[in-house]
Amino acid sequence: MAASDFVACAQHGRAEVISAFHRKLQERAISARLYEITLREFLNETRGGACRWLPLSERVFERAELVYARLPATIFLRAADALHLSTASHGFRDIHSNDTKLLSAAPHFGLRGLNVIDYSGPRMCISVRFLETFDSDVRVDLCGGKTRVPE
């Protein structure tokens, strides 16, 4: 792990990570073999406790509804990102991402958005060990944000 023993992520982030891997397979950015290895390693990391998958409780949905009700029309916020932000707002002060849309909405959830690309402090990302196999230009959705795969 980069800065801690685990990262925390809204539960649906698990499907988002796998979807990002599959998208790279579909785009032919990675081979079928690399996809299999990456997926297996991600699942091993997940089962090993590398990411704490936070439940999408009724409180999470209620918080998202409240924020959307008051969100300025100038803020673009995807539903999946709202769930990440709402989940993080229950116990966290910061959210780490390089998704500028998610980061611009973070303050509306009472969160400080930290860009994992531009941010110079500790980073939160899934273990680099299984990501090193990716091309350095690939970006992968990890735990509620996009992380640049190290070179």
pLDDT in tens, 49-63: 888 889 999 999 999
pLDDT tens per residue, range 13-45: 999 999 999 999 999 999 999 999 999 999 998
More confident call, 8 vs 110 = 110
Reported confidence tier of residue 5, pLDDT bands at 50, 70, 90: low
Residues 75 and 42 occupy one common structural domain: no
Residues 111 and 126 occupy one common structural domain: no
| Domain containing residue 30 | 7-54+122-145
Q: Is 2 inside a domain boundary? A: no
Q: Is 150 inside a domain boundary? A: no
Residues 129 and 100 occupy one common structural domain: no
More confident call, 92 vs 122 = 92
Our count of domains for the chain comes to 2
Average pLDDT over residues 107-133: 62
- Please give the Cα distance from 151 to 142 (Å, whole number): 17
